[in-house]
Structure 1
Amino acid sequence: MVKRLQGIRYQFMRAHMQVIYFSLLMITLVLFFTYSVIQPGWLTIESIFLALVTMAIIMTPVGLYVMFRKGGELKGRLHSFSLYISTLSEGKYGAKLVMRDSQDEFDTLGDELNDLGSKLRGQVKSLERLAEEKSEYAKQAHVAATVEERQRLARDLHDAVSQQLFALSMMSQATAKIIDEKPDQAKEHIEEISQMAIQAQNEMRALLLHLRPVHLSGESLQEGITRLIEELKQRCHVDFLVEVEPLLELSQSKEEHIFRMVQEALSNTLRHANASNIELRIQEKDRIYIYISDDGDGFDIEQQMNAKASYGLNSMKERCEEVGGTFKIKSKQGEGTYIDIRIPK
């Protein structure tokens, strides 16, 4: 309530009441000066007080009503400006602020905001054209990038799968030695070996996911993602909840960027999250909405984004920004990860 009374409407009302009562004070001084110095016969103390009380009774509600209406009008116009700025911040650069043709300072500000929206829309178009050009250059540089990708996969295989297989070998040898003497302990070791094997299997499948082609090979985005999910369902011990709407009139560059971001997100989840459930939703409304979530281990976002090894997350963010979109990720250790991507059409 106190915060509401600090609004512009009530500031106008307080200012107007100050003007009214200051005016009444001046009138009072003039009347008493006239009464005491000039002393006209028609002016009495009773008439002075009657006039002042009458003016106060009439001017106070009238002033409050007028300024309440005027303050509400100004508040409404400021709210429309605030709403328009919020619309621009969400990427809806095609929106326009409707003016009243009053040619006051508010209309001037509105025209400037509309010009800003037009410039932002033009810049987004330019970014999309640059993304198209960059996609062509990326195709040309694919051969050179393949060598680097193979080296990275080799390092990942050595750092992750190779070490897990070595641990499996050591654990199985130790289990074989104690299986007759300590069957209960051997059973526990076998269960650990099973979990380690599943983890190594998921790690290998995630690494193989990186070997898939970046391009959709003539498929639509919906077909490519659906086929990718179906393959993962057959190979991984993870439940998928998928809802992918057909996206119309999307450029090839945007489809490839979206496909690659989804591919990268699923790969990261399979490799690091230890998730049992993965949800993927792609919807087309005023923009393209992409939601990816899991119920895995979660992680510290700030630490991971700043780490040199966080190639996947930074790559997804860069790809999203290249097509004029916004990339948000929420994660908490023990509570899973949620990715929200929004791309203008």
Structure 2
Amino acid sequence: MTAGLVILALTSLVVAGLVVADSWSPNEARYSMGGNLAGTLMLAIAAFAPSRKLRVNPRRILIGAGALGIVVFALASVLAGAGPTLRTPNSTWPTFHLELGRVIVQIATATALITAAAGLSRRGEPLLRWVAVAVVLAGIAKLDYALFPPLGPKNVHLGDVLRVTAWGVLLIGVVGEMRTRFRLRSEAAIAGERRRLARELHDGVAQELALIRRRAGRLSGHPDGEEITAAADRALEDSRRAIEALVPPAHEPLHVALERLGARLATECGVEVQVNVRVQTIIRDEVRAELMRIICEAVRNAANHGGAHHVRVDLAGTPLAVRIIDDGNGFRDGVNSGLGVAGYGLIAMRERAEQVGGQFSLESVRGAGTLVQVVLP
């Protein structure tokens, strides 16, 4: 990404000198053209440079690039002032001068710009795609200025329109890049907070629950010993799931995590859980965590309130959608009749889906089970 920003800055310097005003002296015009060609050639070289790290001293690269730029600048400046001057053959046309040397330099600069655009478009970064479009527009403007010089400072030239459009395209690319960087920073902050909460749960609540579980094991002869032990086991398992949802195992594929979650829920709830993943995709950590919690809540509702024996979890489609289907009893009075824990569970699932930009829906028929669906953006 840093390379993209550097190339963008270099491109801005190149595009900034597209127009040579009539009030400039011939030497200023030649130097401007020489600088443009030198910078454009460096941009083209950077566009086709390999992405991997080169085993070359960076100082040598800098010195070589500087020397190349100076040589090209000098040659282009000399060439821009050389060669014959062509005039309009007909006196009825506005008089303009078409200097062959300047035409050659402008065409060379335009060729380098279009070559750089081809290299930038192959790199795959969104910012560089916008830069490539801007560079193409700048190259066409160069050709237009070379072959059809402006008739005067008060006339709007096609090259002027192309130049302004190139700046607009660059602005769009920069705005998109800034939005991406802000989003990445926000996601990094969220991930850091999730890791902090996971540490607090692991070092605090989970350790206390483990201690309660060990102490409860000493109450084997007490009437409430088994109940306390079972409650401690459930609470400890819930804390472990919460920690895992906050910080999922690194690089674990989504289908592996869903299959492992299904096996755990089957053991916990005493129902058969079948997981079908028909699409391989990568989703953000916060979306993944909320998706796991929705599946947990739906399976528990099916087992504890719906009397289900079999639950199927399907993940497929574009856009991505998860469907939890059970063979339970359904709701007694329709989809809005969940009471108590079940009713709060439905509200929590809907809120979790909406929190990550998803759409939550539920269908239930008395005696025919329930379908919970979440469509993700």
Normalised-by-shorter TM-score class = 0.3 to 0.5
Q: TM-score, normalised by structure 2?
A: 0.37
| Structure (1 or 2) with the greater helix fraction | 1
Query: Which protein has greater RCO, CA pairs closer than 8 Å, 6+ apart?
Result: 1
